Amino acid sequence: MKLKKIAAVTACATLGLAVASLALPRHVSIERSAVIDAAPERVIALAASNTGYQSFNPYWQLDPELKVDMFGPETGVGSGFHFASKDGAGSQTVAKVSASQVDFDLDLGPLGTPTQAIKAVATDAGTRVTWTMDADMGFNPVFRVMGLFMDGMVGPNFELGLENIALETTDDAAA
């Protein structure tokens, strides 16, 4: 009898936590930006190219064993790469390119299909480069809880990538 009561309480608590997790945000957005000394066109050209992207990809520093297999055209819509790292595998594809922004579609398999964008806008102080990611955590309670930590997990990687963009384009500013 006591075992049935414990099982019932455990089941109710588990159900309660699952239902409560649905109150957590479904959509997660991460954004980082920096002002760098480079022309917006240079930043967009790097971001829109599968090889250019690799020149500032922060995940090379985070996982030296990162494996990248490029596909599609060298640059523009359809340009992309498959990746495999210690943290997972997937693909990233350029979905749209404009004068000031490159949009990417990511496929992380069971972890979802977030989108990313790199935007470059000229300012009086230089070019403001903004890197964003938007993800739909769906109705999965575990993903919803994970969403609470996404900014802290991905944000520092974007900051490193922005530093890399600034370093990659340093010679451009001097020219």
In a domain, 8, yes or no: no
Q: What is the share, in percent, of the chain residues with pLDDT greater than 90? A: 77
User: Is residue 12, in this structure, part of any structural domain at all?
Assistant: no
Residue 94 lies in a domain: yes
How far is CA 48 from its chain centroid?
15
Three-state SS at 99: coil
Residue 1: which residues within 8 A CB-CB, separation 6 or more?
A: none
Residue 13: inside a domain:
no
Chain-wide mean pLDDT for the chain? 90
Q: Is residue 6 part of a domain?
A: no
> Among candidates 107, 113, 108, 75, which has minimal Cα distance to 94?
75
What is the per-residue pLDDT for 32?
Answer: 98
| 11 band by pLDDT with thresholds 50, 70 and 90 | low
Which domain, by its residues, includes 135?
26-174
Give a yes or no: residue 21 inside a domain: no
Asked if residue 19 is part of any domain, the answer here is no
Confidence at 8, pLDDT banded by 50, 70, 90? low
E strand residue ranges, the chain: 27-36, 67-71, 80-85, 88-97, 101-107, 115-123, 126-136
Distances (CA, A) of 134 to 65, 103, 131: 26, 11, 10
pLDDT 10s digits, 91-145: 999 999 999 999 999 999 998 999 999 999 999 999 999 999 999 999 889 888 9
Contact 133, 29 (CB under 8 A): yes
Q: Which residue has the higher pLDDT, 172 or 71?
A: 71
Q: What is the pLDDT at residue 174?
A: 46
pLDDT of residue 100: 98
Say whether pLDDT at 18 is over 90.
no
The pTM assigned to this predicted structure is 0.88
pLDDT of res. 13? 55
Over 10-39, what HEC string results?
Answer: HHHHHHHHHHHHCCCCCEEEEEEEEEECCC
pLDDT score at 42:
97
pLDDT > 70: what percent of the chain?
Answer: 88
Domains identified in the chain, total number: 1
**Residue scoring higher pLDDT (45 or 9):** 45
Domain containing residue 85: CATH number:
3.30.530.20
